[in-house]
Every structure is written in structure tokens, then in C-alpha cells.
Amino acid sequence: MKIISKEVVCLKFDFKNWGWRVVTEIKAANNNKNNDINNIFEWVKFYFSQGFSVIPLHFGTKEPPKGFSWKEFQERLPTEEELRKWFGSGEWRNIAIVCGKISKNLVVLDFDSLELFEKFIENTPEELKEKLRKTWAVLTGKGLHLYVRVKNSEFLKTRWFEGVDIKGEGGYVVAPPSLHPSGKLYEFVKDPHEREIVVLEDEEFEVILNIIRKITGHDKEKQGEFRELSDSEILKIADLLKPAYRKGNRELLVGLYLAAWCYKKRISKESVVKIAKILAENDQNEDREEKLKRIIRQIEYHYSKRYEEYLERTGKELKSRSGIQEILENTLGEQKALEILEQLQTILGASPYADTVFGVVDLSRGLYYLSNPRKGWIVRAQKTENGEFRYKEIVAECAPISVTVYENPLTADRKYEIEFTGLIRKKIGPATLDEIIAWLRAVGVVKHRRLIEDALSTIISAFQRSGKAEIKEEIEKPGFYYLDGEIKAIKWKVNEYTIEQLKDALQLLDKLRNIWYSHLGARFTTIIKWGIVAPFSYAIKQLKGTYKIHFPWIVLYGSARTGKSTLGKIVRAIWGLQPDELSGGHIETKARVAYVVSQTTFPQIVNEVSDVLNNPDVRERIKNAIEQLTLRGKYHGGQYREEPALSPLFMTTNGAIPLHDDAFVRRIIPILFTKTDRLPEETIRKFESEVLSKIDVLKYIGFAVAKQLLQNPLLLKKEWHDLATHILESLWREIGEEPPKWVKELHEGESIEDATEYFDEEIRSALLDEINTLYSRYFGRESEIPESLKDKSDIEVRLCALLYNGYLSWAVAKSSEEMLITTSILQVLRKRDVQVESLKALADRFGWEYRKMKVNGTPKMVIHIKIEDFAHFLTGYGDSGSSNPSNPPKGNEGDGKQKKDERTSKNINIEDKEDIKLDDTDRLILDCYKIIAPSVADYEQPKAFVKLVVKKLGNSNVIKERILGLIELGKLPDFYKQGVEDFWNEKEVSTDKDENDSNDIEKSEEESSNGWIKVRALDYIHTEINGRVIRAFPEQVIEIRKRDYLALDEEVRGFLIPVDDSDDSGGDSS
């Protein structure tokens, strides 16, 4: 046979649109090396080299040669001799490739038409479509074969859909250059010698299955073939039914009930007809021939499409109707009917009718539980040696006629919905087995309380084993889940939205980033990115597995009143959720953690978590929840039940977090907030009235994100921050705009050292302020210092005065040199917005001794420390442990370098007037002046000086009096006096003056070279302006662009004091 030319349909790639298109071309088949029918044995050898099991078919057909059994080649590969025998003789044959495990897990998608294939491609995600482009594709008579390999043998089974077959185990496909029965050749779209068959991941193949179900309109594959009953089974059934095959019962027994039963159980029509003919042979009635014809017509009807359409149209089922049992009981009696019914179910499977269900309890003793709907009983019965069933006890006066099992695919939990008949005719559930039994007892139908649990459990198992129970997968918790290759939204509706609605939402998000939260910079962006991906964190674990951390939780920690919880509300607003907040108490135990994270996949806000995070058991549970799919949580029925770890937590705290736990830190995104992140009260009120009340519009971002990921679940394979960037960019393009630059930002987080230093200073400052305030209350500047304390530092004098007089509620003097600190110190710190989880944590932080000692006669766990050491800790000199320098720096000591400030109204020499004695507090105040005076202009000096002093010594009136005293003594400039009065206790000067000052600064800095300015930080600073991150530690001198400095919020700028270029003290420029 010679083929000169032919018209073929050829599939090409349209790379411009990254899609597929179909065109018609004329080709010379004998000039196409990829599809040369005259070189068939070369093709066979090529397929064999690919590891395929190859078998012969009749030329021009899909059938093997007569007498050829190909089943063995599902288990072994053919030998080269066999291949040569089949294909090397010169006889034209078609080639078939056996699919399944034998051919290296080969699966072929067989599309009956190119139209269906185009639909398939249109619904395929881009990443998967790109992968499928690289595999083998074969044009058939009218359709196309797509060759893939799978990793999981569970996906090798053959499946049938309308218009699409998936050829796997037990199937084969005709391969090029075979001849199709239509007269066309099987042809490769691209040369298979130049490409490999792609290997699909499990989730990718599940996506393909779901697409095929969608385009074919079938949620389930077509049912398998009907099975033939063996001759012995046919004879046995006929023998069992013979006693009941009587006039008046014949058509009902065989033509209706038996035919419908066998059709439901996929028993072949031919087998049922044979049973009917055998029964008719023993029929002594004269109308037996006519009756047999009627019965056969009824059988054929039950196996016809009309019957399927009837069931589909009416929705009628067999499970609630009487069946063969009714006829058997009416003709043979109940005991004999049960005996026959049990044997029929052994051969055919469970009766689809409301017939008795048999649950085996003990085969050796013949004990059963029976659910008999005709009696309306659950009974315990014994099967005798001759096969009869004898009732022993009535367990309940009701009988299940239908059972629906609700399985949670995330856990092992099951619930049941049971329809009963008998004394009650009602559906109960979905509920647990215990809840159903409790209800039956409450309504008084249980007759044997001891047996009811075993009986109902056995009956339900019998329904499930026999296939009479309906199994449904159901998830109760709202959120997003990865199931069967798809992302499914459970109890959360993905609403449609307009481009205008999405545009409004994105514009608000941009406004939040660039105006209201510009001071946070990349920190805000990272929080938003986290919130966009957070509801899919459980799906990510389902898709990627739990071999590493795929999605961290987030912890916002640091200073109070910085809007940490508000950021959590913005995240929840993206998903249209209420701004609900939990407290740390909700997760204070392992069981509570499991409960909270099992409620939803959406993020939940948990505030004040410092204490719970420092509980090792709870922290370990949180680490497990971040990484794993399930947790042991709920104690129920004598054992712990698994709880799914669904929800990522958005945690906030004003205190420190356990940064010493490396494993914990690796599983979270810690974001530090400092006092410089606080906004003025007026700004906060404006934000709440103008913005916070309108953040509901952000929900359209959530709808758009969900739409993208539901359409393309494989996007979840990206790293979470890359995924968030990708989504944000695509949303901006969806509204026809270029994405802003900030969407690429990612906050890496502060180092452990930076965060530790910040919190150490917070604790020190809070305690120093407490001591100064109490000293001011109980003593005055002119208080006489005892002779024994005159050689002590000023801080130590005040500390001793308070200790010896019992004015410290959180500390007592153990001796003249030692003190004990109690847990009350934690309340003092909390009052000043400093959170420390425990007294032991405070001791461990600074290396202090923590032990049990008597306090006022009562043993307590306390911190034991020398008074001198604690005083040194408060001043910031020496380290924080028990070892301190013997000669702490004095306020009048430095580098010996005196600088004259030409901008001040008078030059102050703090070394003159030696007759005036200065204590440590005075020296610390003058140290602040030494830092400010040489580097800050006159108009900025008082404000900068007050801020620095308050930072170092607190804002008690004692310190203020000391400053005013130093001014009177000539140690500080006179013009400081009004500044101290204006700025002490955070009093602000007039707006006009601030504006003038700002203009002066701007004018002055315009004169500086190269547009840069040196500033000294008075506090820890971490902010962002004009796309640049600014970070500095207390007293560090850094260089920043002057336009960035002028653009800073006034509150932040007040902590960055301009210095002269000549000033090289106080830190390194960076």
C-alpha cells in the first residue's frame, strides 16, 4: 500500500499568545520521516528503546491479531525476537503501546476531537500548559493523543469520560505511523526523537483530571464494564429464588426487583436473562412462555438508556423502597426470607432496597446484628447450622434505611446522617455516633442500652462495606484548601468585582503605603504581602508537603501605641473579615493553640503574646502548627483527636519575644516597632475617621487574589513573598496601570542584637524614670545625704533612700549592700509599656541571680543583686551583670577636647567654679549638653537637649529642677531655661515657630555641600523616606540626604539632630 498524499489536521504552537491553534495543511506522507509507514520496524525499535511494551495490531484496525493475547505484555516487555517476528516479516501491521506501569508509568490522554482538546488547553494553567507543550502529541483520526508519565502509581488506572479517555493500566494506544480505521495515519505533531515525554507531579495530574471533568460535563468517570456471573452463581441464584417464583410474583421478583438490583451492582444483562430462563423452565403455569418474554423486556428496559434517564429525571432511588425481601417474606416466611436474602447479598452485593442489612459480630458463634426495616428493629440474631436466623434481643425499635457518612478529608473525623424507620421515622445528623445514640435513648426507642453502641456501629459498618452508605467529603471550617488538584473555597464566597472596585481598593492600599504608613516603608509592604498569601498557607502545606517551613507566621513587637493591631485589621479587611482580636490568653495552653488554629485558614489577630511565647510548651506547639498539617489537640473519647493546623496567626506584643530560640525565629517574621513609629494623636484620629472606617473596600483585593489562585493553583509553588509580588503586580496590570515600585519591597527584619539592645534600653529607661519619680515624690533636692552614702553615686543615693525607707513596692533591702527584686517590678515595667514575661526572664536577660529567698519572712523567687551593681545598670555604665567598673565615668570626663560653639549666645565652661560640688546626676545632664552644644544650632538646642535628657534620665520633676539649678549656677546657657519650660513633659512650641525653624533648617542645609547632612540619633531610629531606609542607634552619627531629612515626620526628625562636619565624636558615619 502506497500513500502519495493526504490532507491532515496538524497542531501548531502560537508562541505569540502562548496558546494552541489548529490548521489544515497538505503533506506528502511518504516524505515525512516522522510518520513513514514503510519504515515501521524502525519505529517499533524506537518505542522499545523508550521502555515501552509494544504489541501488534491488525493493519488499519485497533484490534490484535486473532488468537493473540496481549494481557501478558502488561506484566513483561516483549523480547527482540518477538518484535522481529511480529513486525520484521514485511507484513504491514499497526503498532500499539501498552500503557501503565510496564511502560514506565505511561498514561495517554485520548481526546476524541480536536475541539475537546482545544477546550482542555484553554482551561489549563499557563505553567502546566508550557510543560505539556514539550511532550509527545499524536494526531489520530479526528482527535489527539497526549503522552505523559506519572510518578504516583495511583494515577495509572484507566478512566473513561464523554469524549476523553485516559489510557493507563489495562489499556493500550495505537501509535504512529499506524493506519486509523478512517484511512488517516496516526502522526506526531513534533519529532519525538527531539523531545522527552514529560513527567507530571501528583498535583499536576489532579489538575488535568479536574479540567477533563469540567470540559466533559462529568464530575465522575463513566462506570466500569458490567461483570458476568459464573454458571455456578447463576444456578445458585435461580435455586434460591425458585420457591418464591410463583404466579403473581414472577414479574416483580425477576423483571423488576432482581433486574434493578443487578443493574445497580453492574451485573450483566445476559446473566439476569439466564436466571430468568432457568426459572421459567421450572414454571408449571401455562403462560410461562409469554411471561418470560415480558420479564425479558423488563430486564432490557432496566439496562436501557431510558431507565437511566428515568432515574435521573425523577430522582427516584431504590434504597427507600421495598424489594425482594417483601416477596420472600410473603411467600416463605420471615426466617426463610432472611436466610435467602443473606445468601443473595453474598453473591450480588448489598441489596439496593430497604431490605435487611446484616452486620457480622462473631462468625465462629454465628452472631449478627440485623437492621430489619420491615419490622422497624435493630436486633441481635444467631445464624443456625442450617442457615436460619434466630432473634436473640431487640436492641432498638428503629432501623436505619439509609446512611450518609461525612468524612473530613483533613482529619480522621466522621459524622453520620441516618434515616430511621420504625417507631421513629426521621433523619438524624450529621452528628457523631455518640450524639445519635444519645438522641435515640432520649426518645425512648433503645431497648438494650448495653448493646446499642456496638449494634449501631456494626450496622453502619455493614452499610459502608456493602456500598449502601453514601460517602461525602465535607470540610466545616471556612477558608481555602487544596483538594483533588484544585484550590477550593469553603464557606467563603468569591464574589465578582468590577475593575473600578478593584481600582478603588488598590488606590487605597497605595495611599496607606505612601501616606499613612510611609514611616514603616518595607515593613508595611511585607505585612500586606503576608496578609495576601496568609489564607492559603494551609493549602501551601498541602501542596508542598511539610518537609520545611513554607509560610512563616508574623510577630509585630515593640513599643505600645504604634498601630500594630490596626495593621492586623487591615490584613483581615482584605478578606472581608471582621476586625476580631484575640488575647494571648486564647493560646496560653497547647490545647488552646490547637483549637484557635483549627477554626479557619484565614489569619487571626492575637494580641499581647509575650507571656505565651515565652512558655516553652506553647512555643513548641506554635512551631509545629507553622510547619505541620495537624496537631494533637482535643481530648475526646479517651484519646487525643487530631486538629488541623489551618490558621496563620498575626501576633502582636509590646514586650520582647524569645529571640534566643533560633528554631522559633526561623518560623516567624519578627518586625520591631519603636517609639519613633508612634504617630501624633491628631494624626491617629484623622486616620480613624478618614481611612479606617473605609477599609472595607480592600475586600475586592481579596476577591481578585482568590480568583487568580483558584484558576491557577500551581502558583502556590512559588515562595510566598514572590507569589505576593506576582499577584500585586498582576492586579495593578488588571486595572491598566503599572505597579508601584514598593510592591517589590521585603523587610528582612532586625538582627537579634539590634532588638536586644533596644529592649535593654527600654527596661533601663523605665526603671530609672520610676526611681526618679518616686524620689521626687518622697524627697527633694535639698534632702540631706547620710554620711554613709556621701561617697556613693547620685543614682545609688536615690536608690538607697527609697530602699531603706520602704518606698519601692518591687524591691527590698536585704542589707546595706544588697537588694531583692520581686515580681512586682513587672507591673512597674508594664505601666510604662515595657513587657517582660517573667521575673526569671528579666534575671536571665541581664545575668542576675534568680533564687528563692525570704521576703518579709515569706519564701519567694526573687532577683538577688548588689545595690551598687543595680545602680550601675541604671546609669548604663559597665555591663548588666554583677561585675562593674570600679571607676565609672564622671560627667566632666571625656576626650579632653573642649569645643567652642560660635552659635551660642555665651560660651559655657563646665570646668569652672570648682567650689561647687557636682553629683552623678549633674554630670549626666552635663554630658547631654556636651553632646548637643557643639553640633546643634541655637534654635534647636533646647528641644534636642530636653529629648536627650529625658531619654537618659526620665522626665521627673527632680531632673527638671536639677537642670534649672545648673542654669542658675552658670553650668548651662541661660536661654535653655525657657526651652526646658516649653518642652518638658512633651509640651510643644507654637506651629508658627516650628514652621520658621523648619525654614531656617532648610535654608541652612541648602548651603551644605553635595546635598548631604550629618545627624546624631537621640534614640533608636528605623524608618523609611523617599524609598530609602534610615536606621541609627542612640548617639550614632550618620549621613543622610538633606531632602530626606526635611521630608521626615517632625516627631522622627526631632530624634535626629544636625551636627557640624567638624564633629567626629559620638559614632561613625554610615
The residue count of the chain comes to: 1070
CA distance 455 to 196: 57
CA distance 271 to 227: 9
Amino acid at position 590, single letter? K
Closest among 459, 319, 337 to 395, alpha carbons compared: 459
DSSP type of residue 176: T
Dihedral of the CA atoms 280, 285, 288, 294 (nearest 10)?
-110
CA distance 447 to 445: 6
> Quick check: 268 and 228 in contact, CB under 8 A?
yes
CA distances 922 to 65, 650, 692, 917, 1036, Å, are: 109, 46, 47, 9, 23
CA distance 703 to 573: 11
Q: Which helix (H) or strand (E) holds 840?
A: helix 839-846
Query: What is the grid cell recorded at 781?
Result: 533636692
- The Cα diameter of the chain in Å comes to 143
CA distances 989 to 946, 995, 997, Å, are: 13, 10, 11
Query: What is the grid cell recorded at 458?
Result: 456494626
The residue whose grid cell reads 526561623 is 666
Q: What phi and psi values does residue 876 have, to the nearest 5 degrees?
A: 85, 5
CA distance 735 to 509: 14
- Sheet of strand 553-558, all strands in order from the earlier edge strand to the far edge: 581-583, 604-607, 649-653, 553-558, 668-673
CA distance 531 to 519: 19
CA distance 538 to 354: 42
Q: What phi and psi values does residue 686 have, to the nearest 5 degrees?
A: -65, -40
The residue whose grid cell reads 464574589 is 495
CA distance 1017 to 1036: 6
- Is the overall model pTM greater than 0.85, yes or no? no
What is the structure's pLDDT at 643? 83
Centre a 10 Å sphere on the Cβ of residue 1058 and count the other Cβ atoms it contains.
20
- Average pLDDT per block of 10 residues along the chain, 1070 residues long: 35 39 36 55 91 91 83 88 86 90 93 90 89 92 92 80 86 91 88 91 88 74 67 88 87 87 85 90 82 88 72 52 77 84 83 82 87 91 86 93 84 84 90 92 93 92 82 85 87 92 96 92 95 96 80 91 93 95 92 92 94 89 91 54 88 86 89 86 89 92 95 91 96 95 87 78 87 83 62 84 90 91 91 81 90 89 93 69 37 34 39 56 82 70 83 78 85 84 60 41 41 78 75 78 80 76 45
Q: Omega into 713 within 30° of 0, i.e. cis?
A: no
Query: What is the grid cell recorded at 745?
Result: 519591597
Provide the pairing of β-strand 649-653 with 553-558: parallel
